[in-house]
């Protein structure tokens, strides 16, 4: 009889709003549980545990140092502001705890490399908390995109992620607008998702060049509120993306091939938890006389029993479980794609900073 | 009793494939009829009349000069290759015939200005044959985009028009690939529509700057098969578009505002003739806990009794009818937006030709 997979015990480092969603996801994932929460104030940690129905006995800590000493914590979910990631993600790895790190994962690839080196050196699993990657819709779409007969050759990708619509309260108060906390602004926040989508659609082949579009919008502190860029590959493929805090919620990916086109408009957070739509059209064209189309796009809907963030936790815990039970090595896919995402962010940022000139994407 | 609107009598100058669709549209429009067809060969003109069921008595001509002398022709539909437009569009106007000119209307704005000056000097109506402008869907969408409470401020626009998927026969034989016939290639052909869509969505305010994306694809003769560009306005708005003969049929417009987002995926030729869909979402956002959306986009479907190309002919003939019956002046909107479209094409072309540097859009 196979041994039951271990239940991975999570600590949560910081009571950010997103931690509410992820702590619920940890509870929903069958192989995961929350055992500890830390905040800079122990009262805040206690309130978080009570207010969000975490398991009885969940331990509260009033400092990040303390939760790192808890030997009952296998893995840490870290939703701290980006500027604190380097210190606390490295500390987490050095304590031998597996790391589920929220995005943007670092301020630059040099910082991320220090985090990844610490994970590697300490034999812990690393994963960034990009939830949509784990929805079964993402798998279903990739199957279609990989079908040469139905999708053909990838030609171009376009993605938008925006939200907030320029709401003044959000723009004045959110940590995403503070240069000392989240210096990458909307590029690290919303842009992260579109860049990941572009890499995902291109089988993680890094583009050669990034060029920012010339009119990004920044706040008075210099933090990006809206920007866009084009990414090009040497073979003629290209991608465009746009991220904004000034635009109504938009979550588009369009992926265009020689034989098919895939579209979705809720890629980051599906309209509803239990299923997610997309459309795909293949080998269509103009009908006789160009009066219409041979066939319109087909509508797909992919169900999921637990939400994508719980699937993310489940996947992470499954990898950690393999390491604990069988001595498996950490899965390298997750740090690799995280690093590629950061490389593209860095190149776009460099293009914005150098007056919208083309920038070679790093390696 | 009001006088019945006159039936406008069309000549068709050139038997291009698109003339089949437009001659059918002229027959479907209640105020229009085809009375003459010209080709460089009279047999070709005769065959066209028979093969496509044009009215009995439709006159066939073996030269463009002859059809211009036909005093029973009120208006000319001109679907000739672009390089022939300057000569024959000007000749049409000089013969006092109203001009429905297929796109791309000219090789550059200087040529278009000579055509428009000839129309103005001879008191004839000018319209480019951009069919989707005349669909009632276009009107319905504009109403939503003009609603400040539902759409807010325009932030960005993205459009794609592609077809052909790189089909070798199409790439080798179509006139769109011949530098002496359609020197603007895909930019003048498919790009025309996306640029028009961007101008339409921005209330025809010209962008300030165009920058081409750095990896357009050309054929051996130097004709553009795929290109893309970004357009920016001084107030932070921007647009991106992509046009291609190498990609599966794609016809997207996404228009993003501070309070709403509009999407459609069949803007040039709707999936079917009798109705056309789009989606619009307004004042949505993340629901409690960011587990989904407050409300997904609403689906709209706009019916039409006659297809958009027949509505185009009807609108053109209605303007011509007003001029004939009531001595009205030509409607200036159509030459103005045609000229703005050409100005943007010229700027994108200049950016491609100058190594993808920013180019100021002309006035």
Q: How much is the pLDDT for A264?
A: 98
**Complex ipTM value:** 0.96
What pLDDT, in 10s, does the model give residues A35-48?
Answer: 999 999 999 999 99
- Region A8-131+309-331: CATH code: 3.40.50.720
- B75-78 and A275-282 beta bridge pairing: unpaired
- A238-244 and A217-218 beta bridge pairing: unpaired
CA atoms within 13 A on the CB side of A78: 31
Tokens linked to A244: 């904004």
Give the residue, B181 or B237, on which the prediction is more confident: B237
Question: Above 70 in pLDDT, residue B1?
Answer: no
Question: What average pLDDT does this structure show over B39-63?
Answer: 97
Identify the bridge partners of residue A226 per DSSP, sorted by sequence position: A217, A244
A-B Cβ pairs (cutoff 8 Å, strict): 207
Q: Are A86 and A106 in contact (CB under 8 A)?
A: yes
Confirm whether B8-131 and B134-308+342-360 share one CATH topology: no
B209, B248, B291 ranked by CB distance to A258: nearest:
B248
Q: Catalytic one among A97, A103, A340, A349?
A: A103
By residue count, chain B amounts to 363
End-to-end CA distance of chain B: give it in Å, rounded. 46
The Cα of A165 is separated from the nearest Cα of chain B by a number of Å equal to 4
Q: How much is the pLDDT for B121?
A: 98
Does the CB of B165 have a partner CB in chain A at under 8 Å?
yes
Q: Name the nearest CA neighbour of A67 among A129, A143, A14.
A: A14
Q: Residue A103 catalytic? A: yes
Does the CB of A360 have a partner CB in chain B at under 8 Å?
no
Question: Above 80 in pLDDT, residue A70?
Answer: yes
- Region B8-131: CATH code: 3.40.50.720
* Test mutation, A25, A51, A226, A230, chain B, max B CBs within 10 A: A230
Q: How much is the pLDDT for A2?
A: 52
Q: Name the nearest CA neighbour of B251 among B310, B199, B337, B193.
A: B193
CA atoms within 13 A on the CB side of B150: 12
- Whole-number mean pLDDT of chain A? 96
Give the residue, A341 or A177, on which the prediction is more confident: A341
Q: Are B238 and B267 in contact (CB under 8 A)?
A: no
Catalytic residues of B, by residue number, are 103
Instruction: Assign domain A136-307+342-360 to its CATH architecture.
Output: 2-Layer Sandwich (3.30)
Chain B partners within 8 Å of A233 (Cβ): 215
Question: What average pLDDT does this structure show over B105-131?
Answer: 98
What is the band of A335 on the pLDDT scale with cuts at 50, 70, 90? very high
Question: Above 50 in pLDDT, residue B144?
Answer: yes
Q: Where are the domains of chain A?
A: 8-131+309-331, 136-307+342-360
B285-289 LR contacts (CB < 8 Å, sep 24+): B285/A163, B285/A165, B285/A249, B286/A163, B286/A249, B286/A269, B289/A20, B289/A21, B289/A24
What pLDDT, in 10s, does the model give residues B205-232?
Answer: 999 999 999 989 999 999 999 999 999 9
* Residue A275 to residue A288: CA distance in whole angstroms: 36
The dihedrals phi and psi of B320, each to the nearest 5 degrees, come to -65, -40
Name, in order, each residue with C-beta under 8 angstroms of B13's C-beta and a sequence gap of 6 or more.
B38, B64, B67, B76, B77, B78, B79, B80, B88, B92
The dihedrals phi and psi of B224, each to the nearest 5 degrees, come to -65, 125
Q: How much is the pLDDT for A1?
A: 41
DSSP labels, A39-85: -SSHHHHHHHHHHTTPPTT-EEESSHHHHHT-TT--EEEE---GGGH
Q: Which residues of B221-241 are buried (b: 16+ CB within 10 A; e: fewer)?
A: eebbbbbbbbbbbeebbbbbb
Question: Above 90 in pLDDT, residue B2?
Answer: no
Q: How much is the pLDDT for A290?
A: 94
* Residue A340 to residue A199: CA distance in whole angstroms: 8
Does the CB of A249 have a partner CB in chain B at under 8 Å?
yes
Would you give the distance in Å from CA B122 to the centre of its chain?
Answer: 23
* Test mutation, B230, B288, B308, chain A, max A CBs within 10 A: B230
Q: Name the nearest CA neighbour of A338 among A188, A226, A232.
A: A188
What pLDDT, in 10s, does the model give residues A91-100?
Answer: 999 999 999 9
Question: Above 90 in pLDDT, residue B5?
Answer: no
Over pLDDT 70: what percentage of chain A? 99
Q: Which of residues 24-53 of A touch B (CB under 8 A)?
A: 24
Instruction: Assign domain B134-308+342-360 to its CATH architecture.
Output: 2-Layer Sandwich (3.30)
Report chain B's C-alpha Rg in angstroms.
Answer: 21
Does the CB of B23 have a partner CB in chain A at under 8 Å?
no
Q: Are B192 and B336 in contact (CB under 8 A)?
A: no
* Residue A97 to residue A88: CA distance in whole angstroms: 11
Over pLDDT 90: what percentage of chain B? 95
What pLDDT, in 10s, does the model give residues A290-325?
Answer: 999 999 999 999 999 999 999 999 999 999 999 999
DSSP labels, B171-227: HHH-GGG-TTT-TTHHHHHHHHHHHHHHHHHTTTPPPSEEEE-S--EE-TTS-EEEE
The Cα of A43 is separated from the nearest Cα of chain B by a number of Å equal to 22
Question: What average pLDDT does this structure show over A11-28?
Answer: 96
Question: What average pLDDT does this structure show over B260-268?
Answer: 98
Angle at B280 between CA A267 and CA B230, to 5 degrees: 70
Does the CB of A230 have a partner CB in chain B at under 8 Å?
yes
Element (H, E) at A344: helix A333-353
Alpha helices in chain B (DSSP H): 17-28, 42-51, 64-68, 85-94, 109-121, 136-145, 148-151, 168-173, 185-201, 308-326, 333-353
Would you give the distance in Å from CA B90 to the centre of its chain?
Answer: 19
A162, A217, A259 ranked by CB distance to B236: nearest:
A217
């Amino acid at each position: 009889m196979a041994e039951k997979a271990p239940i991975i015990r999570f600590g949560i480092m910081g009571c950010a709003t997103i931690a509410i969603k992820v702590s619920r996801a940890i509870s929903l994932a069958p192989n995961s549980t929350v055992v500890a929460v830390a905040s800079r104030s122990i009262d805040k940690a206690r309130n978080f545990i009570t207010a969000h129905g975490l398991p009885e006995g969940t331990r509260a800590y009033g400092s990040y140092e303390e939760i790192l000493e808890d030997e009952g914590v296998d893995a840490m979910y870290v939703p701290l502001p980006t500027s604190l990631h380097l210190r606390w993600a490295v500390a987490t790895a050095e304590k031998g705890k597996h790391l589920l790190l929220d995005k943007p994962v670092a301020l630059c690839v040099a910082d991320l490399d220090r985090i990844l080196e610490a994970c590697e050196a300490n034999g812990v699993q690393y994963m960034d908390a990009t939830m949509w990657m784990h929805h079964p819709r993402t798998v279903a779409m990739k199957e279609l995109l990989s079908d040469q007969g139905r999708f053909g050759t990838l030609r171009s990708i376009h993605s938008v992620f925006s939200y907030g619509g320029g709401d003044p309260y959000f723009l004045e108060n959110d940590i995403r607008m503070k240069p000392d906390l989240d210096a990458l602004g909307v590029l690290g926040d919303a842009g992260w998702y579109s860049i990941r989508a572009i890499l995902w659609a291109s089988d993680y082949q890094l583009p050669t060049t990034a060029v920012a579009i010339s009119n990004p919008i920044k706040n008075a502190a210099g933090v990006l509120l809206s920007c866009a860029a084009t990414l090009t590959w040497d073979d003629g493929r290209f991608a465009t993306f746009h991220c904004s805090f000034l635009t109504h919620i938009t979550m588009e990916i369009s992926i265009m091939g020689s034989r098919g086109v895939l579209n979705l408009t809720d890629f980051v957070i599906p309209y509803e938890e239990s299923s997610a739509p997309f459309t795909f059209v293949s080998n269509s064209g103009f009908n006789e006389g160009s009066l219409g189309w041979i066939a319109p796009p087909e509508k797909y809907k992919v169900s999921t029993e637990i939400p994508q963030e719980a699937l993310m936790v489940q996947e992470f815990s499954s990898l950690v479980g393999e390491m604990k039970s069988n001595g498996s090595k950490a899965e390298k896919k997750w740090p690799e794609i995280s690093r590629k995402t950061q490389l593209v962010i860095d190149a776009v940022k460099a293009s914005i900073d150098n007056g919208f000139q083309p920038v070679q994407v790093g390696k």
